[in-house]
Structure 1
């Protein structure tokens, strides 16, 4: 067990900052820490499934990508249960006052208008610095399929940016590891 503990400690030290940044780009800072913690909890539970050094970060990104969805499913189950309890008591639910913060940058606004699928592919390549093969591993498709998705997402982003204002180009969303 000591050897696994040492290897896990090394994995955590090497990858935690990247996983935290990955999560922070998709949610707020508090939730990002929770996502990163849950990701490493899952990695510890499934330590035998964690791939070698070259593929471990994309694997962790894939886990981190699924954590919010799992949390959302849990929240929805709790909300349904709460609604059933309130209904049984004949109470009316309190209104939800949570609101989002509007994006202030043109690029962020353009990204927000893209589909989740387009946004994710662009973020994996531009923000996480993954090449096409590693990004394909995260989303669970072939590198060729990801390259096509990335190309199409870049075109849609260019159009969205043109709608935001002239002269803005998505320089940071250039494809890595494949020809565009």
Structure 2
């Protein structure tokens, strides 16, 4: 079992590290990936034949846990200090070089962004991406379709008014 885990670790560690590194800073990425592989070791006998989507999902959950823990610590620190702290910039999208695309992606909800990045950046198919997000393939396809439509709309709006930031908002018709 140890040899099989080591082989799986060597094959998938760089991919899981890259996945997490695109979502957080390098120091946290290594900690999150270590935690994800610790979980994989504990559940090694139950891993699917293709463990990468499962590892992505575990890593995503570990990262969410780390972010929640940081928020709790920040709230405690703010309460003790009696003032707010400056928010940290989102480093997950900093690797995208196209400013227009980065702005459009930033205008999407986190769920839409994640669906698009799992397919477009991670190269996962619908089945694997659905596994990462913990939903059915049909639900993921719907999410992805809607996310693509929203992204296209934001890109079109950005092209039509390059000077202003155009937030995505629902238009309310007056009666």
TM range (shorter): 0.7 to 0.9
Instruction: Give the deviation of 1:144 after TM superposition.
Output: 1.4
- Tell me the equivalent position of 2:60: 65
Unmatched 5+ stretches in structure 2: 161-175
Q: Hey, which of these two has a bigger chunk of helix by percent?
A: 1
Shift of 1:9: 0.7
Counterpart residue number, 2:22:
25
Q: Greater relative contact order (Cα 8 A, min sep 6): structure 1 or 2?
A: 2
Cα distance, 1:28 vs structure 2: 2.0
TM-score by length of structure 1 reads 0.76
Q: 1:111 aligns with which of 105, 114, 121?
A: 105
Q: Match of 1:140?
A: 134
**Distance in 2 (alpha carbons) for counterparts of 1:7 and 1:79:** 40
Aligned residues: 155
The normalised TM-score by structure 2 is 0.78
> What is the Cα deviation at residue 132 of structure 1?
0.8
Q: 2:149 aligned with 1:155, yes or no?
A: yes
Q: Does 1:127 align with 2:116?
A: no
Q: What is the RMSD computed on CA atoms of the aligned residues?
A: 2.3
Q: Shift of residue 93 of structure 1? A: 4.1
Q: 2-side partners of 1:141 and 1:83: how far apart?
A: 36
Task: Spell out structure 1 runs of 4+ moving beyond 6 A.
Answer: none
The superposition leaves residues 78-121 of structure 1 with CA deviations (integer Å, 9 ceiling, x where unpaired) of 4455567x4xxxxx346524531696621111111101111111
SS at match of 1:128: coil
C-alpha separation in 1, matches of 2:42 and 2:90: 35
